[in-house]
Each structure stands twice: as structure tokens, then as C-alpha cells.
Structure 1
Amino acid sequence: MIPLRPVSVCLERLVRTAGGAPLLTHYGPAGERTELSVASFANWVAKTRNLADELGVDADAAVDLPVLADRPAHWMGLVWPFALWQAGASVHLGAPAADVAVVGPDAPAPVAPTTIACSLDPWGRALADLPAGVLDFSSEALAQSDAAASTPGAADDPAWADAERTLTVADVAALEPITDRVLARPATAWDATALLARAILGGGSVVFTESDADPARTAASEKARVLA
């Protein structure tokens, strides 16, 4: 039997073997470009996992990610599923009674007992003047330790749930690996999360774009293969 290699374990291995390699490149709507190496992405994941621990997020918590539903290509939202998986927790997209909700910067307001707002700034800068009951993701995460041990769930533990699918840790680990560099414009939270997970599983990298620029030209400059 092939042993289970959860995506969080594969990310740890990549940090050791190819930490400086690009993992996630994001082009915003205006063409602004942000590139995270394997080590940089893993660092944000570790800090976010430690923040989740500080907030009491455990395997039984319902964590919703509206920010990822609204802007699936943005790196700040994509940090969250991998941080939750590292902690043995899961994503409940669209949960009607979430314990924790991670929202975007547009008119953030408390929508759960714990609500966290992401600036979606290309460089991860903090939000100012947030209302009571809303925490700023960048400020809270950057105050956390850079180190976090991976404690992924068991094979049959839940990893992801949305209106269309319910997946386990083993389901995510069984995604087809991506071994090269690909460019895509993901339409849904799961599309983006799955592509990034596949790149981590296979040692590849992804370029996600929200720009109206010609994808073929962007792919040529990034030396990436365009995905439909």
C-alpha cells in the first residue's frame, strides 16, 4: 500500500528541497504581480496555522472562507486552506453557522464569532480602521512564529466542503500532481485550491491571473503552460 502523503507534508518536503523555487505567482486585475517562493508561501502558511491555533481553531471548527470564494486567485486567501490542513482542520465554504470567517477588504463586518479580514494587497499590507469584531489578517499573522509543525488529519478526515463536493484528506492527497509551471484563471475557490495543491504534490508551480491581459503573452513571459 502506498503511504498517504498529505499536501501539508509535501509542502514541508518542498521547503527542504526547493525552498527558493517559485510556487505561486499572482497577477491582480490591474496587472500587479506578486510571486511567492515555496519558502515564502510556507512561511505564511505556518504563521496562519499558528494564528488559527491562537484563535482556538481545531478539527471540529467550521471555518468559512468568503475571501476565497470572492477572489479565488489571490494568494492571501489561498494561504488559508493549506494552513488549516497543516493544523488538521478543514474548510467549510459557505457554512451557514461558521465559527471563523475570513473575508475580503470590501466593507468587512463581523459575520461569525471570529471574523478576519484580508487586505488582498499585493504585498500583504494591513487594513486600517476595521470595525469592532473584525481582526486584520496581516497584523495578526505577522505577529506569529515562523515555525509550525504539520499535524494533518487522518486519511478519512474532512478537508474541504462546499456546495458541490465533500473531500477528505486522502482525496486531496490523491489529486493529480502538477510537475511543471502552469497558468490559469481559476473561476472557483476549489479550482484555485486544487491547482495549487497539485503543484505542491508534484513540485510544480502555478501562475494565477485576474488580469485581462493576453494569457498566452503572460504565459510566455512566465515560461508557463496555459490551462483551459
Structure 2
Amino acid sequence: MLISALHKRVSRLGAQPLITYYDGEEGSRIELSAVTFANWVDKTANLIADLGHDDGEPIDIALASSHPGHWVTLVWIAAAWQRGCAVNPDVTGADLLVVGPGDDRRAETTVACSLHPLGLGFPTPPANAVDYREVFGQPDLHDMAVGGESYEWDGAAAPAVMGRDDRVLLRDPAPGWETVARALVEPVLGTGSTVVVVRTSDEGVGRISAGERVAH
């Protein structure tokens, strides 16, 4: 569902912004077009396969709870679905676990993400984990699971979502399906886009809202 819609979006409106992410404390802004986002998803899906994780087996994406709305989190969710894997937004015992900086939880295979604005790795390699920087060595090839994509979230089929065509700002989004739906699924199913803003003052959010021309 989401992956096929993403590739339709790439073919129709590939250069237009899909996800824009601001971190006020870091003073960073990164904008991903549909083409760029899909490229990250393809590389991450290929990393999942390269790590030996079987298509269709669930993935614990703890990033979805610790850093909801982060562009890396959204990439991992889409990549898991591309591999036909259900997404668990916390640690449930799956063979593959994805964590953020400072998260020492580990599984049979763990990928640690620095969440650097440009996707760079940790200054010091994370203990007992694969640094997400390894994704840069993956091919851009779009590889789908033989059994098709997944659309499962937290142990069940994800709720149906309507696409949207406007540009929406999400401030410090909370963990949960609503953030995934608003930030990722809705704009991909439509022609819209999302601006995620974290750790930013009211004044800063106001400036970003005006500059990005969000609908609300």
C-alpha cells in the first residue's frame, strides 16, 4: 500500500518536498523530496536483507517510540514494510532491533542510528550494534519482498488512512500511529507534505510555519 503509493508519488511529483525536519536545539533542517526519501527507503530495505533478516519477519523499531516523527524513523518504517515486515514501535523480542543514540537495548541484530542531520554515523562505533552509516554502502536498487509489502503496525493491520494534499506542520509529535499516519502515510497517499519541528521555541515554530507555508 504505502510502498506502491510512494513509487507512484516519485513518478508524478518526485522532486517536490515530502518530509522536512527541523531540530531547534541542533539548528538543523533537512528536506527530503519523494525521490530522496524513496532512495533512503530502498537503501535501508537492502540493508535489512544484507543483515540476514528474513522478509516478512517483524522488526522492532524502537526509534518510533524514542524519536517519533524523525525522518530516519519514517524511513525505517517504510523500509520494513517494503521488506514485508510488520513494525513494532518498541522492543518485543524481534530478531532485528533499531535504536537511537544512547539506547543500549540490544537484540540478535541491532542497528543503532546516530540521527545526525545528514545521516552520518557515530563518532565512536556503537557497542554490539551495526552503525546505520552502513546504509551508505547499499545499492539504490528497489527490491521488494517476494510476498509483497506489509502494512502492519504494533501487532495488527494498520488503520486505513486517507491521503492529503496540503502541507502540515507537526510540532514535537508524540509516539504512536497518529504520528506515522500524519507525517508519512497521509502525504504519500496524496500529494501533500509534512514539516516536523522538534525542540523549538514558540517564536521559532511561528517563523518556520510562515516560511514553510504550512496549511495549519
Task: Please report the TM-score for the alignment, with normalisation by the length of structure 2.
Answer: 0.89
Could you say what secondary structure the match of 1:176 adopts? Answer: coil
Measure how far apart 1:199 and its partner are. Answer: 0.5
Aligned positions of 1:168-183 closer than 5 A: 168=158, 171=159, 174-183=160-169
Which range moves more in the overlay, 146-155 or 12-21? Answer: 146-155
Which residue does 1:141 correspond to in 2? 135
User: In 2, Cα distance between the equivalents of 1:153 and 1:200?
Assistant: 22
Could you say what secondary structure the match of 1:188 adopts? Answer: coil
1:49-72 deviation line (CA, Å, top 9, x unaligned): 001111222344231111221111
User: In 1, Cα distance between the equivalents of 2:82 and 2:35?
Assistant: 15
Measure how far apart 1:218 and its partner are. Answer: 1.8
Q: How many residues align?
A: 211
User: In 2, Cα distance between the equivalents of 1:150 and 1:92?
Assistant: 20
Task: Tell me, yes or no, if the aligned pair for 2:23 and 2:29 is still in contact at 8 Å.
Answer: yes
Which residue does 1:209 correspond to in 2? 197
Measure how far apart 1:101 and its partner are. Answer: 0.8
Which residue does 1:117 correspond to in 2? 112
User: In 2, Cα distance between the equivalents of 1:87 and 1:151?
Assistant: 5
Could you say what secondary structure the match of 2:98 adopts? Answer: strand
The runs of 5 or more residues in structure 1 that have no matched partner are 1-5
Give the CA RMSD over aligned residues.
2.1
Which residue does 2:170 correspond to in 1? 184
Task: Tell me, yes or no, if the aligned pair for 2:62 and 2:88 is still in contact at 8 Å.
Answer: no
Which residue does 1:3 correspond to in 2? none
Corresponding residue to 1:14 among 9, 33, 36: 9
Task: Please report the TM-score for the alignment, with normalisation by the length of structure 1.
Answer: 0.84
Task: Tell me, yes or no, if the aligned pair for 2:23 and 2:200 is still in contact at 8 Å.
Answer: no
Could you say what secondary structure the match of 2:119 adopts? Answer: coil
The runs of 5 or more residues in structure 2 that have no matched partner are none
Matching residue's letter, 2:153: W
Could you say what secondary structure the match of 1:96 adopts? Answer: coil
Corresponding residue to 2:208 among 201, 205, 218: 218
Matching residue's letter, 1:220: A
Matching residue's letter, 1:206: T
User: In 2, Cα distance between the equivalents of 1:28 and 1:167?
Assistant: 31
